[in-house]
Structures are given as C-alpha cells and as structure tokens.
Structure 1
Amino acid sequence: MSGGELTRRALLGASAALAASPVLGRARDPQAGRFTGLREDAVLAFKGIRYGRAERFARAVPEPWQGPPRRAQSFAPIAPQRGNPDLAQSEDCLFLNVWTPDTNPRARRAVMVYFHGGAYSNGTVTDPLTRGGTLAAQGDVVVVTVNHRLNALGYAWLKPFGPQFADSGNLGQLDLILALQWVRAHIAAFGGDPARVMVFGQSGGGAKIATLMAMPAADGLFHAAATMSGQQVVASGPGNAWKRTLALLAALKLRPDDVETLQTMPVQRLVEGLAAPDPIMGGNLYMGPVLDMTNLPRHPFWPDAAPQSLGIPMILGNVREETRAFIDPRGPKLQGLAWDNLAARIAPEIKIDLDVDWVVGQYRSQYPQWTPEQVFYSATTAGRSWPGQVIEADERAKAGAKATWVYQLDRASPSDPLRGAAHTDDIPYVFGTLDAPGSMSGADAGARTTSSLLMQAFTGLAKTGQPGLAEWMPYTLPDRETLVVSDGRVETVNDPRRWERELWATAPYVQPGS
C-alpha cells in the first residue's frame, strides 16, 4: 500500500484528483495537510494523528498543525489501562484516526467522531470493531476515532492538593474537547465539513458524550449526538471522587498527602493501583467526570437536561439484555440458578435499591412463563443502567429539546444463542464490521439488513439532523416512541418495556460510579 512521499508539486493536485483518478489513488499514498496516509479498500485512512500533548495530571495542549511531513499509517499507543494488555500503551496517547472517501476539501462530507467505551477506565478505538473504513465508504462520511486519557490519568480528583490540579477530575473529557477542536480546525483537509460534526459512542463513550453536553467548553463543537448503551445522568461529586483518590493512594502504599510520588512513579505501578476496591460502589476503583463547578458546572441530566444540549438532535440506544455481556450465562453466577436463590444472585448486580425478593415476585407475577435466567437478565439490565437512558430521553422531552430518537436492539446473536442481544452488540451493525474479530452479529442476511438500517439512521443524523428512517418516530411523552430493531426489521413501538420501566422507577436511579 505504501508508495513514495508525494512531492510538494504533486500535493497541489492530489486531493482534488484522488476521487476522480483511481489509478493515482492506488499509485501514491494519499496526503492531507502534512499527513501521509494509505488506501484501505474504498477509502483513505490516516492513523495515529497526534492532536495534543500532556504532562501527567495536567491539561493537554494542542499539537501544531504545521510541521514536517508525518506518516499516518499505523495506530499509535493506547491509554495506559488494566485492559488490553496485548496492545502498546503509553501516557503519550492523544492520537486520533481518520477514514475518508477522499481528501477533496470541497467535498464537505458530514463527520462522525467516535468515542470508545470502557467506563472511563479501559478501552480503545483501535479495536477492529470500531475501525471506520466500512462506515466511511458505505455512509459517504468522514469517520474520526479518538483515544484519550483514562482512569486516574484522566479523572483522578487531585484538586485538594492545590489549584495546579484544578482540571484533574475532567482531563479525559478535556482531551476529547481538544480532539473536537482539532476536528473543527482541520477536518476540511480530509474532505469533512466542520459545520456537520456528529459525536457517537458506545457504553462509556456514550457517557462521555452525555457529560460533554453539560461542559461549556464543548458547546458548539458538535451538532448531533448518538449514544449506544451509554448514559451519564449525574457525575461524581467531589467528595466521592476524593475518597477514590485516597483509596488509590492507599493501594499504592502512599501517604494521603504524597501527590509528588503519584506524579512521578512509573505508569505501570499507578495502573496496578486501579485494582483497589471502589469505596463507594464496590467492584474495581471507578474514576470518571467530577462535578468541579468549572469544567463541569452541573450534572448532565439532573435535575434536568443541561440547557446547552437542548439544540442538539440525539439518538439514544440500548440493547435488550445488556448484562448478558457482563455476566456469562455459562459462568459461575448462573450455575445452579433457581427460584430459591434468584434474588440473592440479582442483588449484587443492580444499582437501584429495591427489595429484591419483592422484585422477583413482581416479575414472576407479570411473566409466569419466564425461567429464572430470563428474570435474572431482564432484572439486572433494567435495574442497572437502562433507567439512565430513560431519564435522559424523558428529560429531553420535558425540556422541549430538539428531536430525540430512541432505539432498542432485540436482535439476538446468531453465533451464540445464549448471549441473546447483549451490551456492545450494536457496534458492528453501526460500523459495518460484521465479520471483524469480536463481532457477535454474524454476517447473514439479517445481520446485513440490520447493519444497513442502523448505518442509514446514524449517517442520516450526521448529514441532516434526522435519522433517515421513515419508520422511526421521535420520542415524546407520554408515548415514549422507541424503534425496536429485530432481525432485519424495525418498528416503532410505544413504551415497549413500560411495565419494567414503572417497576424500577419506584426507587431513585443511582448512576454507576456516582
């Protein structure tokens, strides 16, 4: 794929000629600005573009656009984390990737910027499931994927150590804002339209987007949004965030005031400290956005939807049985599951504080034909994260926000019947990466049709501010219109899980990590 570097004279005509001259596109590496990418099938790919630099626990600064020519033909290291041990990791991780049909600045294609999941602690956009070539080609859009600082490096709350750490609880979010500023300034060189930027993200990526919608520095940087099984009703309060910082220091065997060692220790040692138990929610240590009253001056969706978000059209999606991805139906938590131990098995998995014996009784009365396993997965999904999406959609409807569209993916994995429709299963449909490693979608006719429908919806929102599916009605109250996506079919259904929604709304929702 790699050819010689383009000369300056050749550069003058390369961008405009690339789409019209496939011979030239194959013969020479594509160029955008000072970056030399490569051709990947029907699109041009630019990988590992630096958008910023940062010292540990400090706000990142932008990377100058001008400079010597740079190859952008391979992925850069990902953020340090406990996950993805086989991938190169580095604190120097502020890089993004671009896929585009061509680099003609006059093309002005809609831009789709993806933020990865991993609950602020793990994850990467170099995963084969989230590579943007197919989406860029089939959707005729420019796709950008962004890596940024995670866990303690992106979200540890250190402000109690002094004003020099004032941004510390939201550095990962500020990295994303810096990447969006890069997109606004430079995406035209890749054939994109800086006036049509849509952000989308799955799980933690969706939560990052919800948080950005309440951050003043992000205002105006994107014009549409889509979140996939990711919501952030409230951020972490500074009190709980400080308890987590103290738990990290204790796990690292540091004094509560020893921020100097935290700043200078090898990053791998710091990452090992993240295995500490979370003092608020249990499980491994959580670090996410902090209500610092400057970068994040209010909660994203409490007590209402942030006013700056109301003009942004938005897709909110979820998968029917999210927790089948977290809790293996073949694993120990499901071994020996029966009615007499079902409540005890459910209790550790939910975030809403209800009497679990009562919950099980309600499900058995409503769905007498269900098995204990069906109740387990429905209850753990509906009592864990899904209510956050309902709250976000309801608050947008109450506030008169620009249209919101809600979907529910019901299509079960054909490659693993026990998995059903689980967390992350919508990713390959939206990206068109049906046969990528890790995909659970299969590549049969149903998978291809489902992918085509969701890709059309997402790219339609990016291009026009509307999903582009006639069947998909905007979400309103009290109807709660929801696009139910099954095996190659879509249908708008009013409030499809009304009974479960009302049951779990009898107690306050607790944001995971708050």
Structure 2
Amino acid sequence: MIASLTRLTLVAAYLAAAVASASPVSRRQSQEPSPPSSPGLVKDAPSANELKGVHLLLENDLDSSTPKHPVIFLAEPRSYKESQRVCDTLGEDLLGSDNINFVKGLLNTTPIAVNDVKKVSRLWVKGASLNSCTAFDRTSGHTLHLPCSTKLPALCANSLPRTQIGLKVHTDRSKQIKVKTPAAGTLQGYRDQNQFRFLGISYALPPVGRRRFLPPQKIIVSESEKDEAKDATKFGFVCMQGAYEGDAKPNATYELFSLGAPESEDCLHLNVFTPSLSGKNKEKGDRLPVMVYVHGGGFTSFSGSSPTFEPGNLVSRGGVVVVTLNYRLGIFGFFENPPSIPRSKAAGSLAIRDQIAALQWVQDNIVAFGGDPDQVTIFGESAGGYSMRALLSIPSAFGLYRNVISQSDLLGIPFSSPKTAKDIGAGLLKYLGCSPSDLACAQSKTDTQIRHAEHNSTTDVVLAPGNEWLMTAGGVYRPTIEGDLFPGDFADLVSTGHYNREANILWGSTRDEFALFLPYVFPEPIPLDQKDEILAKYLLEDRTKILFTSPFYALNESDPDTIRNELSRAVTDLLWTCATQRLSRGTAAQLSKVYTYRFDHGRDIYSTFGEPLSPFCRGRVCHADDVIPSFGSGDIKEGSIQTGSDARFARQVIDRFTTFAKTGNPNPPKQGAAFLGLASQNKDVTGVAWPAYDRSSDKVFVFEEEKSHVEVGEDTERCQWIEKHVRYDYQVHSPNGKFVPTFP
C-alpha cells in the first residue's frame, strides 16, 4: 500500500475493503428505536404435520408496483366446513369467490406443490348456502355449487404483506405455525405474503466460554424436548463484526438495516424460508430444491439476517426453500496458533467448519420444511463466494450439496498459509496477555478484549514486511491450508482433480468489481508523473507496473483519472475475470459441468438504502451490485421500490439461478418444465441459451438489463497476456510456497 498511510488508516482501509459491500448505514448514527420485537409464541398455533399440506402460492413478478394476489393452498381434501376451520386456524378466511379471476393462471404456473396442484380440478372457495357450498373449477375458470360434504382441496386468503424493514414498519408475526423436525425439535415460526419464516434456529451449541475457538458442537435434543415448541419468530444474534474504528459502536439503526439483529458470540443460528409445508408423509418427488446462502463481508462483517439477503421474492417466484446462516467472523472464526496450541484443541478455519455444520443441519432437518436434502444448492457472494470455493475443496463437505453458485469470488487469491493464520493467532494471545499455549486464558477474556487484541494483531500482520499483498487479497482472514480439513489450495486441487468434480458449478463476477475498492486505496486521481512511485507498492513483484505495459490497459493522457480507470479494469481482470477463465478451463478439463457469467447490469446496495453511491462506481457495475437482483430484494426497505427494469432484471437472475438449483443447468428444459413455474415463460431466459463452459472457446454468459447474450473469446487475449506477463496471486503467493503453473 501507499507508504504514507498511517497505521490506523491502513487498518481502516483494510477493514473497508474486506467488508466488500460494506454497510451503507453509518455506525455513528444517533441511537434510534430498537427493531420490532417478537410477540412471543401464539398459543395453539397449528401444526404443519396435522394440516397435511399447506402451501403459499403467488404469481410473483417481483414488481412492487403491481397488485399481488397471494393465496394459501390446502392440499388435503376436506369438507367445506373443515376447510373453513383450517383457514381459521391460519388466521384467514376461505378465498372470496369475487377474487378468483387470477387463480386459474396461478394454478397453471406455480412451481410450488406441483404434484398436489396438478391433481386438483376443483377447490373450495368462500360461499355457502343452506344446501350447497362454492367451489372453483380450474378447467372452466368459473365457480359452481356442490354439496358441502364433498371433500376437496381449498384456497384460503393470505392477507399479509411482504416483509419489509424500517423504523416505522410493524411486522405481523402473529400468523404462526409449528413444524416438528427430526433432530431439532419443534420450531414455531410465522408467515408473510411470500413464505413461512423460521428464524434464529440454533444449529450448534453457543461457541462461548470454553467452546470459544473450538469447532461447532452439535445440539442433541432429547425425546422429551422434541414436542416443546421453540420460538422461531425472530432472528438470533449475529456473529461479532469486525473491529470498530475508534469508539464507534453499533446502534439500533445499524443493527436493523445492516445486520438484522444485535451481535453476540452466541451466534450460530440459521433461518429457513419456505413456501411449502407438506406434512411428514410427502414423497421425495414433492419436495422442493433447497438453496443455502453463505453471506459475504470479507469474513469480518454481515450476517444471514442482513436485510439485503431477504429471500421472500426468491422463495415465492422460484419455488425453492432458502436457508441463510451466520458463521463466526474475524478472529472468532479463524483463530489458531499451532504448534503451541495443537489443532486438536484449536482446529482453525472455524468459519468454514460452522458452514459445514449448518449444511449438516439442513441434511438432518430440511425435509420437515418441504425441502429435498438431495437437491441442495449452496451459493454466496464475495467472501460467500470464497466459501463456495472452500466447500468445493473439502472432501467431508462433498455429500452436503449438489450445485454451487459462486458470485464474485476473488479466484486469483489463494487460501491462507498456515504462517499468516498463526501470526494473527499468536499476536492475539500476546495482546491479551496470554502465553502462546494458553487457550483457556483466551477463552476467559471478554469479547471486547478479544476485539481490541484482534485489531492490534491484524494491524501487525498487515504491516509486516512481505505482507503488503494481503491488502489486495481482500483481507487477512481466509481459510487455512492445514492438510486436514483442506487438503490443498483450490488451484492445486483443480490441477489434480481432487476437488468436488461431481458438483455443477455456476460462477462469475461483475464487470467492474475492483471499482468499489479502489477509492479506499487511492481516494484521489493519480497524477501521471507520479504513477510509478505511487503504484510501485500496490502489487508486489512490480506487477502493477507490468500491467501498465499491456496494450489492453493503455493510458489516455486526456483523461485526468486515467490511471485509476485503467487500474480498475486491470485488477478486475487479474483477480476476477481472468482467474475465473483460467479455473473454468481447469475444471472443464476435469469434466466438471461449469457455467460462467458476467453481470453488465446490477443494482447498488447503497442507493437502495438511501446512501450516496461511491462516485467512482457511477456508470459501473461494481462489486456486490449483483446481490439485490439475486434476491429480488430491491424493495426490502420501507419506501424503496423495485419496478420496471429493476424488476425485470431481478426476474431474469432469479429464474436462471433457481432453474440451476432445480436442474444443475441454468436453461429451462423445453419439456416437462411445470416445476419451473414462471421461469419457463420468461422470454429473457428462454430466448438465450446459456452454454456450458468449453475450455476451447471461453464462453461467458453476460447478464444485461434487457438483451443478455453469450460472449465467445472476448476476454481470451487479455487473459493470456496476464497469464504470460503478470501471474495470479495463487501462483506467486501459494500457501505451500511453491509456484503453481497455469493449466491445463
């Protein structure tokens, strides 16, 4: 980095860059009212198992300006009176017969409860007289009158709105329902317009006290406890966030808009969002695909409850079960100090071990929420994308998922070396006043003491000679190659075929990834006559200087900001675009099914939350601009909207991603696509074939606002130049200290 940066400024820059899509809400804002609290458990909430199939249906165009017509579909045939009673237990009435003009189309397009729906020709709706009751005939689209004792499925109203956040928003959590799981006991959540929501579920014992810095430990629920309902109506604590600069502390506004809940070490929670509770007797073919999201934030920030990752639109449009999770961050998730403390006591890479524990919880329990444990897709952005790479590398995780969506992983950056991780851990113990081997001492300290010591230790490591490159690596916290959990760096594993070759992979980046980070490093334009001096220390081995010898990053002397503009392009290629191309070639050579993409359109998180966009990102598609379209969460904040082209683009992204989650292929099949729902009717999706990666032609799918397309070989020449003249960080900073050749 720039030599004149002070110690504090350097670490602040490190933290800002590591956060990736850093919180748009300042931690220094004044104290505001706390977020709405849970009303507690509603007595006599209905049981999903007893209802034998209750599904939330919505023809969701993701446009917040269009009318929505959500309904509840009761799949079990009942008499009219029994159907009305079930609606009552859900806090609703049978669907009014004057509101059914949309139902025929909905039943023909929903990807939810497809097998139950296709068996149905008539359903109870509201309307009864002395001798007959009203049913809807889906064939004719009209109502008719039948004896009230006839047993039919039914449609209930769903009067609840979509979940939003805001200081004035009141979330109705009173429409509750219970689910009994195989291993986690009975959980009582609630529903909104789009989904059933089960929040704050513990997937491991609290990692506090003597469990701090240890691998996650499974919760054992006794038989006597399995029928006692646990509150799943509010988010659990989120994991400890990165060290704060100065005296800044999080407040209620920050927690609400950025994290979704207060932070604590007791944070190993996950959240389940499902449109379908099928009951315990449903066959495998009736279960929904599961998408498990691992959040980004540089392994130092954010949580599974961050509002940006609100999955209601993804769930209801895609017809999938979504799981979001917390995992330990910073030193809490990456502490180790071998050999002074053996790995049998402090194993390291705890963040990834937490993710594996959460995925195991999904395997054990997701059937109870309508999900298919054999059809799990893991996905994540930034550090979440890096986590996808980690999970592709760990043999013990291979059986926990089938498909992988990795967004904006810095594939040019390797996993961490044992030395870097050890130096941070040893420094933590030093600043805590503990001996190098005294784990119990570190476990006895307060979380505030840990964070202060972490701040000092990471500062030392970043400023140590030879570690300057860590600043361009997106942070010092990364999984460690220790030979046990991780058998090697991903690039090594790809070259030898020792990664999860059976997984279907979809990965890529945004067009201008590095433009988000560059102003943290170079806040002002760089004068041409100072170029060599200022850039010399940015990438070691003179790689910055070498980049500017390329004809592909030629400087324009009439542009006063030409150096930063070209540097943004060059580093985006080096760390994202070309590294993805190279590893796509490698995985394709190993016969993996791989799909690559680039986002040339997106929506920035900052303006969505009412904060100013970084000037350098104006007109660019920066890091994290793909997150909101991936969830369709552009209207999550009170007063925000998602309309027109924003809604259209989100439909395209969600339809591609959920199709991939269902089939391992982002293209809807031409036959038998009923379970894909609206995706099979989206011309933005069906009109463009997305080919699997071909190592001989470098095919990339380009997400555009309207006319997405496939590029063939557009990046090849630039990337070949980089590979020949510059080299990737996983080559020059390999964790095992050896140069990794490009391949194949």
TM-score after normalising by structure 1:
0.89
Does the alignment pair 1:378 with 2:378? no
Query: Which residue of structure 2 lines up, in the alignment, with residue 410 of structure 1?
Result: 600
- 1:32 aligns with 179
* One-letter identity of the residue aligned with 2:710: T
Deviations 1:109-133 (A, max 9, x none): 0000000112222221211111111
Asked whether the equivalents of residues 362 and 373 of structure 2 are also in contact (C-alpha less than 8 Å), the reply is yes
How far 1:448 moved relative to its partner? 1.9
Identify the residue that residue 217 of structure 2 maps to in structure 1.
61
Structure 1 partner of 2:524: 335
Task: Please report how far the alpha carbon of residue 360 of structure 1 lies from its aligned counterpart in structure 2 after TM superposition.
Answer: 2.1
Matched, 1:460 2:659: yes
Distance in structure 2 (CA, Å) of the matches to 1:24 and 1:202: 39
Equivalent position SS for 1:406:
strand
| Matched ranges for 1:112-511 at <5 A | 112-163=291-342, 165=344, 168-231=347-410, 234-252=414-432, 254-275=434-455, 276-277=458-459, 278=462, 279=464, 280=467, 281-283=469-471, 286-302=476-492, 304=494, 306-328=497-519, 333-347=522-536, 349-350=538-539, 353-363=541-551, 371-401=562-592, 403-411=593-601, 413=603, 416=613, 418-419=616-617, 420-437=620-637, 443-468=642-667, 469=685, 470-505=688-723, 506-511=725-730
Partner of 1:381, secondary structure, is: helix
SS in 2 for 1:435: coil
Any conservation in 2 of the 1:99–1:144 contact (CA below 8 Å)? yes
Instruction: Tell which has more relative contact order, 1 or 2 (C-alpha 8 A, sep 6+).
Output: 2
SS of 1:30's equivalent in the other structure is: strand
Q: Which moved more, 1:243-252 or 1:19-28?
A: 19-28
Q: How much does 1:292 deviate?
A: 1.7
Distance 2:381 2:638 in 1: 15
CA contact (8 A) 1:129 1:436 kept: yes
Residues 600, 703 of structure 2: 8 Å contact kept: yes
Query: Does the 8 A contact of 1:94 with 1:149 survive in 2?
Result: yes
Partner Cα separation in structure 1 for residue 91 and residue 717 of structure 2:
56
| Selected match of 2:250 from 85, 101, 107 | 85
> Could you report, residue by residue, the CA deviation over 1:439-469 in whole angstroms, capped at 9, with x for unpaired residues?
9x98353222221111111101111111125
The answer to whether the 8 A contact 1:229-1:386 is kept is no
State the 1:376 CA deviation.
2.5
What code does the residue aligned with 1:38 have?
A: Y
The structural deviation recorded for 1:313 is 0.5
Q: Distance in 1 between matches of 2:370 and 2:334?
A: 33
Aligned amino acid, residue 339 of structure 1 = L
| CA displacement 1:46-93 (0-9 Å, x = unmatched) | 110111113112121222355321111111111112269343221111
Whole-angstrom distance in 2 between the partners of 1:15 and 1:301: 48
Are 1:16 and 2:53 an aligned pair? yes
Partner of 2:166: none
Displacement of 1:355 after TM fit?
4.2
Residue 120 of structure 1 aligns to a residue whose secondary structure is coil
The whole-number CA distance in structure 1 between the counterparts of 2:537 and 2:717 is 22
Q: State the Cα distance separating 1:254 from its structure 2 match.
A: 4.5
Distance 2:636 2:534 in 1: 33
Residue 670 of structure 2 aligns with which residue? Answer: none
Shift of 1:508: 2.8
Q: 1:323 to 1:252 in 2, by over 3 A?
A: farther
Deviates more, 1:447-456 or 1:163-172: 163-172
Amino acid of the residue matched to residue 195 of structure 2?
V
3-state SS of paired residue (1:59) = coil
CA distance in 1, matches of 2:487, 2:638: 38
Deviation at 1:429, TM superposition (A): 0.7
Q: Which amino acid aligns with 1:449?
A: R
**Bigger CA drift: 86-95 or 143-152?**
86-95
Kindly indicate whether the alpha-carbon contact (under 8 Å) linking 1:429 and 1:450 is maintained by their aligned counterparts in 2.
Answer: yes
Q: Give the match's secondary structure for 1:378.
A: helix
Residue 25 of structure 1 deviates from its aligned partner by 3.7
Q: What is the CA distance between 1:252 and its match in structure 2? A: 4.1
Give unpaired runs (5+ residues) of structure 1: none
Structure 1 position 409, deviation (Å):
0.7
Query: What is the Cα-based RMSD across aligned positions, in Å?
Result: 3.0
Contact 2:46–2:178 (CA under 8 A) maintained in structure 1: no
1:463-508: CA deviations, max 9, x gaps? 1111125421111112111011122321110133234322321233
Secondary structure of 2:492 counterpart = coil
Q: Deviations over 1:318-353 (max 9, x none)?
A: 01111222234xx78242433333455555554x74
SS in 2 for 1:74: coil
Rounded Cα–Cα distance in structure 2 between residues aligned with 1:85 and 1:480 = 45
Q: Distance in 2 between matches of 1:229 and 1:489?
A: 22
CA distance in 1, matches of 2:296, 2:290: 20
Letter in 2 for 1:300: F
Deviates more, 1:109-118 or 1:392-401: 392-401
- SS of 1:183's equivalent in the other structure is helix
Shift of 1:255: 4.4
Aligned pair in 2 of structure 1 residues 36, 8: CA closer, same or farther (>3 Å)? closer
Query: Does the Cα contact within 8 Å between 1:44 and 1:101 map onto a contact in 2?
Result: yes
For 1:70, give the aligned amino acid.
K
Q: Deviations over 1:248-289 (max 9, x none)?
A: 334445544444322221112212223232243454972321
Change (3 A) 1:405 1:6: farther
Q: Could you say what secondary structure the match of 2:550 adopts?
A: helix
Cα distance, 1:4 vs structure 2: 6.1
Indicate the SS of the match to 1:90.
coil
Higher alpha-carbon Rg: 2
Q: Provide closer, same or farther for how the CA distance between residues 309 and 364 of structure 1 changes in structure 2, counting only shifts above 3 A.
A: closer
Distance 1:192 1:224 in 2: 15
Where structure 2 has 5 or more consecutive residues not aligned to the other structure, the ranges are 1-37, 56-71, 75-86, 93-174, 181-185, 244-248, 256-261, 608-612, 668-684, 736-744
Amino acid corresponding to residue 58 of structure 1 in structure 2: L
Query: Pick from 103, 114, 117: which aligns with 2:277?
Result: 103
Contact 1:5–1:29 (8 Å) recurs in 2: yes
Question: Could you tell me whether the CA contact under 8 Å between 1:47 and 1:96 is conserved in 2?
Answer: yes
Contact 2:304 2:326 in 1 (8 A): yes
One-letter code of the match for 1:405? Y
| Distance of aligned partners of 1:2 and 1:100 in 2 relative to their CA distance in 1, 3 Å threshold | farther
